[in-house]
Amino acid sequence: MNDILAWGLEVVRAVQTIANPTLTLAMKAVTYLGSEYFYIIMLPIIFWTVDRRKGARLALVFLVSAFVNAWLKDLWAQPRPFAFDAALGMMAEPTYGLPSAHAQGTLVFWGLVATLFKRPWGIAAAVILPLIVGFSRVYLGVHFPTDVFVGWGLGLLFVTGDALLGDRLEKVLSILSTRWRLIIIAVLAFFMNALYRGDVSLAGAFLGAGFGFVWASESARFSEGGGAGMKALRIFLGLAVTVLVYGLPKLVAPKAGEVFYDLVRFMTMGFVGLWVSYGAPWVFLRLRLAERPEEEGKAIDG
């Protein structure tokens, strides 16, 4: 073990000196703010009810960030603290530790919320929540402090990169034909899949969401507005189907290492992304749970 990891173990031990059942329960609750389940709920809600265009951009940048994190974990293959001292592990995590996906994900998500939506509370959330979630990972013994620091650093790079280049890239993509946008998404998903075969789910989600966002911009544009009741119905219906599409295949899918496991995992997350980005908007419009944007309605009337 090198000196940095040895120092990290001492930090984890020092943090856990304040451990008690109530605090541990709170830390386990907080850590789920950086989990896959949190983002599967929050990203669609933002897209369906807050801002369609910015929600799509947030989702795609987040998926690329999550892919980079998973790829680096496998590349660096650094064990977690409980691999060196089993007594430190308050939770079980099957993957490698460096960089922390929870630290990176919370900073990317809330950092983009702050910069894209420019809400007063966004900056506070972008600072406070990554700090709290990062601390929870050290407290629970699933990450070294350095895992969290690197995760924060990568998250900051993605947020800064989007702030500097995001508008330009979005403008360039907007003038391309539908065919070229679909080709670009497919090529990126192919390289994601080829570069990292450890978990194909992120490539699948990126492909499905990317295709769906493009198709929705052409044939299923909707207004994110409406009353609270209408938005609540969109969220309820949209998430109910999301849960089914995400969860049902797990009941019958092959287990990890079995034949077709990667294919089923890829397709499952692809369909989740496609439902959120295109299927749900299409259904909302048909059921009158959402309206066409005003500018589109005027163009049709004219």
Please work out, in degrees rounded to the nearest 5, the angle formed at the alpha carbon of residue 197 by the alpha carbons of 165 and 84.
Answer: 95
Residue 251 to residues 56, 241, 255, 264, 275: CA-CA distances in angstroms?
29, 16, 10, 12, 19
Give the pLDDT confidence score for residue 295 in this predicted structure: 58
Q: Quick one: pLDDT at residue 13?
A: 96
One DSSP character per residue, 20-76 reads -HHHHHHHHHHHGGGSHHHHHHHHHHHHHHT-HHHHHHHHHHHHHHHHHHHHHHHHH
Query: What pLDDT score does 171 carry?
Result: 92
Quote the pLDDT of residue 300: 30
Q: What pTM was computed for the model?
A: 0.91
Residues in the chain with pLDDT values less than 50: 297-302
* Cis amide linkage into residue 120, ω under 30° from 0: no
pLDDT of residue 299: 34
The pLDDT value recorded for residue 121 is 84
- For the chain, which residues make up each domain, given as ranges? 1-175, 181-302
Q: What is the CATH number of domain 1-175?
A: 1.20.144
Instruction: Write down the pLDDT at residue 301.
Output: 31
Q: Is the dihedral of CA 281, 287, 291, 292 positive or negative?
A: positive
Contact (Cβ atoms closer than 8 angstroms) between residue 264 and residue 199: no
Q: Which residues contact 282 (CB under 8 A, 6 or more apart)?
A: 216, 219, 220
